[in-house]
Amino acid sequence: MMRRLKLLYTIAFLCCHSIGFSQNSKTDSLQSLLLHLETKDKVEVLHSLILELWFEYPDSAKQYANQAINISTELEDIRLQSISLRLMGGVNTYQGEYELSLINTHKALNLALQIKDSLLITTSLNNLGYNYYNLGSYSQATENLLRALNMYSRTKEQYGLGYTLNNVGQVYLKLKNFSKASEYFNQAMEVGKSTKNKHTILYTSNNLGFLYLEQGKYQEAEKFFKKSTEIAETVSNKNWEATAYSGLGQTYYHLGNIDKAFKEFKKSLSLRVEIKELKGISEIYYYLSKMSESSEKLDSAMYYLNISQNIAKDAGIKDQLLDNFILYKELFTQQDLLDSALIYQSRYIELREKQFDENAARSIEGIQLEIKEEETARELATKDLQLAKKSFQLNFFIALAIFIFLITIVVFWFYKTQKKLGKALKIKNFRISKQRDEIIRKNEELSTLNIEKNDLISIVSHDLKSPLNNIRALIRLINLPPLPSENRAAEFLEMINESTIRLSNMIEKILDVEAIESKKLNVKREKVNLSDIAQSTINRFDAEAMRKQIQLHPSINENVMIKADESYLIQVLENLLSNAIKFSPNGKNIYINVITHKNKALCEVKDEGPGLSDNDKKKLFRKYQKLSNTPTANESSTGLGLSIVKKFVNSMNGKIWCESELGKGASFFVGFINWKKATVQNRLKFQKKKVDLLGY
């Protein structure tokens, strides 16, 4: 049992930096196994799941880590608590949440110290050092990493040793001590080759690439980064793969090959966004800003730099903040905004001095000496204690072994019996709980369907009744003696035709909603001209607007291209313009605008109707909802149009919203990505930044 736990601790450390993932079948097997295990065994399976999902699905790994922490805390098992917290800290580090990782890893270290688990202590020290390095606290990083390095050297644990050597080398590289950095990186490479560990070799190749990059040896740097990308294809570590692409991008940037640099940065950004690695994302946007600056695209440079700054500030990445402050100063200086440039120069000096004070409090050499003296004193004390207790321990363990043997025979039978009963009871309780949850879910679905059924019946009984009554009344008029004149009969027939058209339209809308809900939409997104479609839609509604003396005012930018389904897009614009005419009083104005902003395309339909109350706004885009306002010329309304529009827009990866004040009309907006202006920003799906124009 002890050997298995030690192996688990070793894997936990490796996963902080390198472990790849097994096949989905293994993950599925572990998840299935969870259902039939007792509490302690369940925690160990949760640990294995965290390791399997760490690099591919870090958010899922976090969920399992939280479960492991909660269960091990309830059990009051210090060892399992420490492992669970250590794994959570590792996932935090992988996603760039260094402050949060420090909190969890410190808790893990304190628990490991209580039980004196040397392997878990060592992995915790290494992760603490790596977090402090990323936060720019190099003295604290060095202290923790050197302590971990000494412990790894004593235990001869080669896998952990390779990663810690790399981490120490990174600190020296950041401090521009290239000879010491090279020494540690080369030692790490030897460990990787001797153990045939591709993850260690990948990590070290990246670090050697950055070492040569810092020294201006770009050809050597390119060689190591390319080697890293080749290794990355055989293992599963998106973080280090992204690091290799970023290194290539920086190398090509310094060589003046902007196109190749942009290509590599784009690959790196895609991977880092996928795993939400904040430090790497901030770094990429910083280099995109520098490339824009070198191309004299100052607006783009400022845009990318603002993104980098916001991420670095939220994540507390001091080194990136320093680089950003310098770039801000340069950009503002080029725009002759000297006051702003001076502000960022002052911020740079303030943060730099603060970081220097933190790191200068204790030199690396001083830390090394302190650790060596502590180690010597500890070894002497340990030897004295071992000699004093050796005789007592021998007698004690002999007596203990005899006692354990006797009591084990008595306890074993009782334990096995209780274990079988408990396992059967837990499995039965789990099945009952699962069946209860399924019944609750089905009841909720039936309740929702019943509400929608009642709404649909209301629509059919109320709105469809009106055109049917009209048809029946007109037929009676035609048949009443004396028979109407030919002109009068033709007029009645035209009115019957209009009622049937109205009835057909209502039924089609109901069927459209049902098709959407049953997921039968066949969306074909392709490059379409939003400007042309908007203009043609306006042309089709000119006659309808003229009947109510409504003026249509188009303001359309030419050739605004988007990616959408042309058929659904036409239905969306027709619905919005039809509603605007329907709810506008006679003699009013309707404004149709098509504009672009950066990489966004926007279509607005603005009317001078009665506007929307707060209660009406809550009902917008829901099925079978009728608003307080009614069509000004008694036009028909099913309450389905906007719900269909919402589904269509969502299916085309667009966004629709409404801005309105009661009594001041309403503006409906539809937004898409502008085809011509689409950039690498489109891939940043998890970036929640507000764009003033579109709000997403």
> What distance in Å separates the CA atoms of residue 200 and residue 18, rounded to the nearest whole number?
7
- Nearest CA to 632 among 582, 591, 590? 582
In angstroms, what CA-CA distances link 39 with 9, 76, 77, 80, 641? 19, 12, 11, 11, 53
In a shared domain, residues 634 and 664: yes
Q: What are phi and psi of 55, to 5 degrees?
A: -85, -25
In a shared domain, residues 632 and 668: yes
pLDDT score recorded for residue 11: 34
Confidence category of residue 2, pLDDT binned at 50, 70, 90:
very low
- Cβ atoms 556, 531 nearer than 8 A: yes
In a shared domain, residues 531 and 618: yes
pLDDT score recorded for residue 12: 38
Confidence category of residue 515, pLDDT binned at 50, 70, 90:
low
Confidence category of residue 483, pLDDT binned at 50, 70, 90:
low
Confidence category of residue 51, pLDDT binned at 50, 70, 90:
confident
Query: Is residue 414 pLDDT above 80, yes or no?
Result: no
- Nearest CA to 326 among 375, 290, 296? 290
Instruction: Please give the average per-residue pLDDT across 4-9, as a whole number.
Output: 37
- Cβ atoms 69, 84 nearer than 8 A: yes
In a shared domain, residues 113 and 180: no
Single residue among 237, 253, 271 that ends a domain in this structure: 271
- Nearest CA to 325 among 303, 307, 341? 341
Single residue among 294, 325, 354 that ends a domain in this structure: 354
Query: Is residue 148 pLDDT above 80, yes or no?
Result: yes
> What distance in Å separates the CA atoms of residue 193 and residue 641, rounded to the nearest whole number?
66
Cis check: omega of the bond before 482, within 30 degrees of 0: yes
Give 608-613 contacts, CB < 8 A, sequence gap 24+.
Answer: 608/584, 608/665, 609/580, 609/583, 609/584, 609/585, 609/665, 609/666, 610/583, 610/662, 610/663, 610/665, 611/660, 611/661, 611/662, 611/663, 611/664, 611/665, 611/666, 612/658, 612/660, 612/662, 612/666, 613/662
In a shared domain, residues 482 and 568: no
Single residue among 499, 517, 535 that ends a domain in this structure: 517
Whether residue 415 lies inside any domain: the answer is no
Instruction: Please give the average per-residue pLDDT across 671-687, as a whole number.
Output: 60
- Nearest CA to 528 among 682, 670, 644? 670
In a shared domain, residues 264 and 325: no
- Nearest CA to 293 among 335, 332, 322, 331? 331
Q: What is the largest CA-CA distance in the chain?
A: 128
Whether residue 447 lies inside any domain: the answer is no
pLDDT score recorded for residue 510: 59
CATH number where 250 lies: 1.25.40.10
Whether residue 125 lies inside any domain: the answer is yes
Residue type for position 407: I
Whether residue 379 lies inside any domain: the answer is no
What residues have CB less than 8 Å from 394, skipping those under 6 apart?
none
- What residue numbers bound the domain in which 572 lies? 526-683
> What distance in Å separates the CA atoms of residue 23 and residue 15, rounded to the nearest whole number?
16
> What distance in Å separates the CA atoms of residue 484 and residue 94, rounded to the nearest whole number?
84
Per-residue pLDDT reduced to its tens digit, 152-192: 777 777 778 888 888 888 888 888 889 988 999 898 899 88
pLDDT winner (highest mean) among 322-336, 373-387, 428-442: 322-336
Confidence category of residue 589, pLDDT binned at 50, 70, 90:
very high
Alpha helices in 316-363 (DSSP H): 318-334, 338-360
In a shared domain, residues 539 and 665: yes
Instruction: State the total domains in the chain.
Output: 5
Per-residue pLDDT reduced to its tens digit, 94-109: 787 888 988 999 998 9
Laid out side by side, the sheet with 600-607 consists of 551-556, 589-597, 600-607, 666-673, 655-660
- pLDDT above 90 covers a percentage of the chain that reads 15
What residues have CB less than 8 Å from 543, skipping those under 6 apart?
none
pLDDT score recorded for residue 220: 93
Instruction: Please give the average per-residue pLDDT across 59-81, as a whole number.
Output: 88
Per-residue pLDDT reduced to its tens digit, 223-257: 998 998 888 888 877 888 888 999 999 999 899 89
> What distance in Å separates the CA atoms of residue 84 and residue 543, rounded to the nearest whole number?
70
Instruction: Please give the average per-residue pLDDT across 373-382, as a whole number.
Output: 46
Q: What is the 3-state secondary structure (H, E, C) of 475-544?
A: HHHHHCCCCCCHHHHHHHHHHHHHHHHHHHHHHHHHHHHHHHHCCCCCCCCEEEEHHHHHHHHHHHCHHH
Q: Which helix (H) or strand (E) holds 593?
A: strand 589-597
- pLDDT above 70 covers a percentage of the chain that reads 76
What residues have CB less than 8 Å from 188, skipping those under 6 apart?
162, 163, 165, 166, 169, 200, 203, 204, 207
Q: How many residues does the structure list for the chain?
A: 696
Q: Which helix (H) or strand (E) holds 61?
A: helix 58-75
pLDDT score recorded for residue 693: 42
Confidence category of residue 590, pLDDT binned at 50, 70, 90:
very high
Give 222-228 contacts, CB < 8 A, sequence gap 24+.
Answer: 222/248, 222/251, 222/252, 225/251, 228/202
In a shared domain, residues 473 and 601: no
pLDDT score recorded for residue 4: 38
Query: Is residue 302 pLDDT above 70, yes or no?
Result: yes
In angstroms, what CA-CA distances link 414 with 36, 409, 425? 21, 9, 17
263's tokens: 């290509």
> What distance in Å separates the CA atoms of residue 383 and residue 375, rounded to the nearest whole number?
12
pLDDT score recorded for residue 679: 43
List beta partners, residue 564. Answer: 526
Per-residue pLDDT reduced to its tens digit, 183-219: 998 988 998 888 888 888 988 998 999 999 989 999 9
Residue with tokens 């009209």: 470
In a shared domain, residues 116 and 178: no
- Cβ atoms 556, 605 nearer than 8 A: no
> What distance in Å separates the CA atoms of residue 665 and residue 590, rounded to the nearest whole number?
10
Whether residue 658 lies inside any domain: the answer is yes
- Cβ atoms 346, 163 nearer than 8 A: no
Whether residue 693 lies inside any domain: the answer is no
Whether residue 375 lies inside any domain: the answer is no
> What distance in Å separates the CA atoms of residue 11 and residue 30, rounded to the nearest whole number?
16
Sign of the CA dihedral running 188, 192, 195, 199:
positive
pLDDT score recorded for residue 682: 45
In a shared domain, residues 314 and 241: no
Query: Is residue 19 pLDDT above 60, yes or no?
Result: no
pLDDT score recorded for residue 199: 85
Per-residue pLDDT reduced to its tens digit, 620-634: 887 766 666 667 666
Instruction: Please give the average per-residue pLDDT across 670-694, as a whole number.
Output: 56
pLDDT score recorded for residue 20: 36
Q: Please give the residue that has the higher pLDDT: either 521 or 241.
A: 241
- Nearest CA to 595 among 538, 556, 553, 559? 556
> What distance in Å separates the CA atoms of residue 35 and residue 346, rounded to the nearest whole number?
58
pLDDT score recorded for residue 647: 85
CATH number where 569 lies: 3.30.565.10
Instruction: Please give the average per-residue pLDDT across 511-534, as a whole number.
Output: 74
Share the mean pLDDT of the chain: 78
- Nearest CA to 576 among 605, 549, 550? 605
Per-residue pLDDT reduced to its tens digit, 600-620: 999 999 999 898 888 888 888
In a shared domain, residues 171 and 245: yes
E strand intervals along 34-83? none
Whether residue 640 lies inside any domain: the answer is yes
Q: What are phi and psi of 664, to 5 degrees?
A: -125, 20
- What's the alpha-carbon Rg for the chain, to the nearest Å? 35
Q: What are phi and psi of 659, to 5 degrees?
A: -125, 125
pLDDT score recorded for residue 528: 93
In angstroms, what CA-CA distances link 605 with 131, 246, 532, 589, 602? 51, 44, 15, 11, 10
In a shared domain, residues 201 and 115: no
